[in-house]
Structures are given as C-alpha cells and as structure tokens.
Amino acid sequence: MDCPARNRKLVEDRSKVPHRRSGRKVLPMKEDASGTKDEWDDTPRVDTSWIPLEQEQLYRICLGCLMENRIPFILAGAFALYAYTGIQRNTKDLDVFLPAEHVRPALIALNAKGLRTEVRDGLWLAKAHKDPYFVDLIFANPNKEIQIDMGWIRRSNKVELFDMRVPLIALEELIISKIYVARMDRFDGADICHLIRGSKGRIDWHWLSRCLGRDQELLLWHFVLFQYVYPGHVHLLPTPLMDRIYESMAGHRTNPPPEKTFRGTLIDPESFEVDCRLWGYEDIRDTKPLVSEDGSRM
C-alpha cells in the first residue's frame, strides 16, 4: 500500500488505481512490453537557468548517482511545485523522497561521490552536502504520520531536470507531503492552494481523503483557505467531499471524542507543546526513529 502507514488498511493498492491526467504539463510514465519504465518524448522540462552552476553540479551528481545505483526516489520540494504550477522559488536545497530502507544505500553511494552525508533526524531526514548547497533525503514527515514507501515511487511522473529524466512526485502525494506543514515559521497552505489552482482541481480527492483518514479535516481547512483566496474558483473544489467532512464534524458535536483528544503537535510541536506541559494533553507523536545514525532501517 502507498498511503501513510497508519491508514494502510483503508486504501487499496494505488498501483491498481488509474492515474488521473491533470491536463497540465506533467505526464505519467508509461511501461513498455517488458514492464520497465519508458520515457515519453514530450517529457516536461523544469527551467533551471536561474540556478548557479555550482549548485546545479551538486544536483546533477546526486540525481545521477541515485539513478546509477538504482535507488528508488522521487523529486519533490520546490522543483516539483514548479513542475505543477510554474511557480519558481529560489532554493538552496533539492528535496528527494525515498523509502526509509533505501536511505543507507543512498548515503553510501553519495558519500562515494565525495559528498558529506549525515542522518540529521532519524525520524524523517538525511542530507548530502556540498556547502553551501545540500540535498534533503526525506523518508517521512517529522510527525511520522506520512512515511514514503514504494507506492509513492510507482505513482511518480517523469520530468526533465538538468538534462536528465527523473521521477517526479505525483500531485496527490505532493499535497499530502505539505498538508501537515503549519508551523509558526512555515505554512504550506499557499502551496496547496497553488497546486489546486494550477491543476484546475483535477485531483484524486477521494484517495486523499481516505489516505488522511482521521485527519481529513486538514483537507477541509485547506478548502476553506482556497475558497477565501480564490472565491471565483470555488468550482475547482470537490463539493461532495466538503459536505461529507462537514457532516462528519457535525457528528462530533453530538458524539464528541474524549475531552483530552489532542492533535496539535502533529502540525506544530513547538507551538502546541505548551498544551501538553500546562494542561495535560498527550503528545501523540511517534518519536521512535525510522533509521539509525548510519541510515540503516530500524
């Protein structure tokens, strides 16, 4: 399965779910008769003319190294946002998503290319450096509600970056990767609004809501934000899904969860830590690392 680990029982194998073309410039990969990934002649290209040469060289080394060593990964972050929306964002890092069990092979391969590598946080993040630039190797989100698995890899598209055809995170997964990011110092709600606007709403919302499970209210939060930002584009939102989430929330008023139910630390641990300390709420995050200091799967 290829949704967050805690919700895997809710969703069928997405490799069996048809890919919804967005009508934009990102195309899905196709398979040849042998079942291997074939490259489309019209693979979309990400403009990288603004990137300094030294930074580009690091990214070429990293992407080429991962592909040469057959390490499964997908391109995410600012480059993925550009591929789906055309919005360019200056960045000093490249975000690569990969399953946790492939972190150590990736670090070994990148280290052999002369890069300084480290596991920055065993919950979700490793890095490859060539100062002042770096590549983030992301295998989960910080609260571990989302863990990258091979389903994310199978669902990838193709995009041309630095004259290489690399796997690009699917639109739905990109939204999921951003939906919990609501910290005091960073909020990805604007990115999600831009992705809905850029895709003209052609998104598999049903899958997203099932994958989020108990946290599907986060979708409604972003739907309300989108409607506020783009009142003239409300038709791009999935009205039946919005109504269903509203009804579910209304049910909570007549049958509320336990009083101490608390999810604040899932979206901003720093801002909501005080609730646990002063008012006795439980921090429900799973803080057991996914990988060890050398990148081995735990």
Closest CA to 138 of 130, 265, 146: 146
CA distance linking residue 152 with residue 82, whole number of Å:
19
Closest CA to 96 of 107, 88, 86: 107
CA distance linking residue 49 with residue 53, whole number of Å:
9
Q: Quickly list DSSP for 32-43.
A: -TTS-EE--TT-
CA 180 vs CA 46, 107, 213, 222, 268: distances in Å: 26, 27, 13, 11, 8
How much is the pLDDT for 191? 98
Strand bridging mode 30-31 / 37-38: antiparallel
How much is the pLDDT for 40? 45
pLDDT at 290 over 90: yes
Per-residue model confidence as pLDDT tens digits over 41-90: 567 888 888 899 999 999 999 999 999 999 999 999 999 999 999 999 88
Task: Specify the CATH number of the domain 5-180.
Answer: 3.30.460.40
Which pLDDT band holds residue 39 (cuts at 50, 70, 90)? very low
CA distance linking residue 223 with residue 285, whole number of Å:
25
Task: Answer left, alpha or beta for residue 184, where phi above 0 means left and psi between -120 and 50 means alpha.
Answer: alpha
Per-residue model confidence as pLDDT tens digits over 168-223: 999 999 999 999 999 999 999 999 999 999 999 999 998 899 889 889 999 999 99
How much is the pLDDT for 283? 96
Domain boundaries, the chain: 5-180
Average pLDDT over residues 215-239: 97
Per-residue model confidence as pLDDT tens digits over 243-258: 999 998 888 888 888 9
Q: Residue 119 forms beta bridges with which residues?
A: 126
Per-residue model confidence as pLDDT tens digits over 137-159: 999 999 999 999 999 999 999 99
Amino acid making up residue 157: N
